[in-house]
Structure 1
Amino acid sequence: MESAPAEARTVAVSDTLLPGQKLMTLQSIKSASGVFTLTMQRNGNVTLLQRGVAQALWMSGTYRPGSVLVMAADGTMRIIYGRTQIWSMGAASPQAKLVLPNTGLLAIYNTRGKAVWNRHMVIGTLMAGAMLRAPDALGRDVTMYSLNHVYTLKLLTNGNMVFLRNGTTVLWSTGKTQWPESSAWIDVNGLFGTYSRDGDGTWDFHTHRPGTVVQIRNDGHFLLINGRTIVKTFV
């Protein structure tokens, strides 16, 4: 019997993606226990699944079949379609590696063994498809941080999205407080918004500029930016 072609196999022989290594369609890394699996799906969305749990614990939010997840040598995790980078996550840390431990806390570790990113974090820039989440029963909360970790953008348990300094001082908020387990993202058309657990919009700002991203800068500026053009400054 002929073996299955490479694109039809799920490769789950390691819990680590080293610098320069990649996951192509249906390839995976798996925790040593076998409970958690990170897979590049056929549709281009990278998902972290737990055995026995139907919902993904974490996902890239990218839906472009044929994409490849690459652990870059600079310490960032990237999704590439052809020659185009469509998504990135992590923090600059040369020769860092992506590890999926038995706890399920997917993380990027630097050469000193310190985690510089984990699945509960977005650092610096929120690209189209990447998602922020309020705490929920599955522990899927995701918070956005400035590179210096002084400023954060997060969804509270009540669904209010707040921009904080030092984790305590509220600099800005949506004021939407009746929507537990909410999420937030910016889409490919430049619509930045928050959504209820049922997917209904609860707050938004539309830039009408495809390719716009959300940034939090070390000086405390929270903004929407398209290329080099600042489209909206919230703070």
Structure 2
Amino acid sequence: MVRRLLAGLLAVGAMLGGAVVAAPAEAAVKDTLLPGQKLLALQSIKSASGVYTLTMQRNGNVTLLQRGAVQPLWMSNTYRPGAVLVMGTDGVMRVIYGRTAIWAMGAASPQAKLVLPNTGLLGIYNTRNKAVWNRHMVIGTLMPNALLRSPDSLGRDVTMYSTNHVYTLQLLANGNLVFLKNGKTVLWSTGKTGWPESRAYIDSSGRFGTLNRDGDETWGWDSRRAGTVVQIRNDGHFLLIHGRTIVKTFV
């Protein structure tokens, strides 16, 4: 019965250009968001064990919660009421507000799906069932309001990777933001240490920086252009870019 219902939903989605809205009752017990499916406000996917839940909150923020925990393990930081989480057919999940993608995460992998396993390691799996992204990763581009995190007791660390995985931008446990080649050679760093549980961000105004656990900025660079993003390219360039214009090259 469930398979027939899912097939029916996918058929309707195909007629509507691939967009499928999972019914709330189905979303609450399923651990997968298939290509083209969406989560509207208060809709969720849940691990088979019921311990972990990914929810599009009413305020537009997508949160991954562990049963009994107070703080989210991961979230999109997209506070836009009325926004929708969409698992794109290109392998990238996006938070859409109106017709605008205000946040994106994942890797180019056509027909990949979003899965929440019993481990809580939210991931995007390709058609060979291999993970091409998980919640500890940002691939290629850091969009406004997405975060990188240093290691903490909750296991919320997030590292940014070039698409070829040769270059990484990561926060060390001491709060220093470093740009590495092959995980060993330091090509650039902020040099700001002594700030455990830090996070890095680029905000909607175009300011790129690091914050300590209290939310105070420890390092920053202002592009002064709203919509600027951080990119790591396969050739080793680490930069801020606005549209097609390179605003700042760090390496």
Q: 1:210 to 1:10 in 2, by over 3 A?
A: farther
Question: Which residue identity is paired with 1:162?
Answer: V
1:11 Cα deviation (Å)? 3.8
Alignment of 1:135-214 (within 5 A): 135-214=151-230
1:61 Cα deviation (Å)? 1.0
Distance across 2 between alignment mates of 1:89 and 1:108: 10
1:13 Cα deviation (Å)? 1.8
Alignment of 1:18-97 (within 5 A): 18-97=34-113
1:211 Cα deviation (Å)? 0.4
Question: Which residue identity is paired with 1:24?
Answer: L
1:145 Cα deviation (Å)? 0.2
Q: Is the CA contact (8 Å cut-off) linking 1:10 and 1:26 kept in structure 2?
A: no
Distance across 1 between alignment mates of 2:76 and 2:47: 18
SS in 1 for 2:156: coil
What is the match of residue 218 of structure 1? 234
Deviation readout 1:104-125 (Å, 9 max, x if unpaired): 0000000001000000000000
Equivalent pairs: percent with the same residue?
79
Q: Aligned match of 2:146 in 127, 130, 145?
A: 130
Question: Which residue identity is paired with 1:63?
Answer: Y
1:8 Cα deviation (Å)? 8.8
Distance across 1 between alignment mates of 2:119 and 2:205: 36
Which ranges of structure 2 fall in alignment gaps of 5 or more residues?
Answer: 1-21
Distance across 2 between alignment mates of 1:103 and 1:13: 16
Q: Is the CA contact (8 Å cut-off) linking 1:124 and 1:144 kept in structure 2?
A: yes
What is the match of residue 3 of structure 1? none
SS in 1 for 2:213: coil
Question: Which residue identity is paired with 2:195?
Answer: W
Distance across 2 between alignment mates of 1:19 and 1:207: 35
What is the match of residue 103 of structure 1? 119
1:160 Cα deviation (Å)? 0.3
Question: Which residue identity is paired with 2:121?
Answer: L
Distance across 2 between alignment mates of 1:40 and 1:9: 14
Give the TM-score taking structure 1 as reference length.
0.96
Q: Is the CA contact (8 Å cut-off) linking 1:7 and 1:24 kept in structure 2?
A: no
RMSD of aligned Cα (Å): 1.4
SS in 1 for 2:55: strand
Distance across 1 between alignment mates of 2:239 and 2:123: 26
Bigger share in helix: 2
1:198 Cα deviation (Å)? 0.8
Question: Which residue identity is paired with 1:193?
Answer: G
Q: Is the CA contact (8 Å cut-off) linking 1:7 and 1:25 kept in structure 2?
A: no
SS in 1 for 2:226: coil
Query: How many residues align structurally?
Result: 230
Q: Is the CA contact (8 Å cut-off) linking 1:155 and 1:162 kept in structure 2?
A: yes
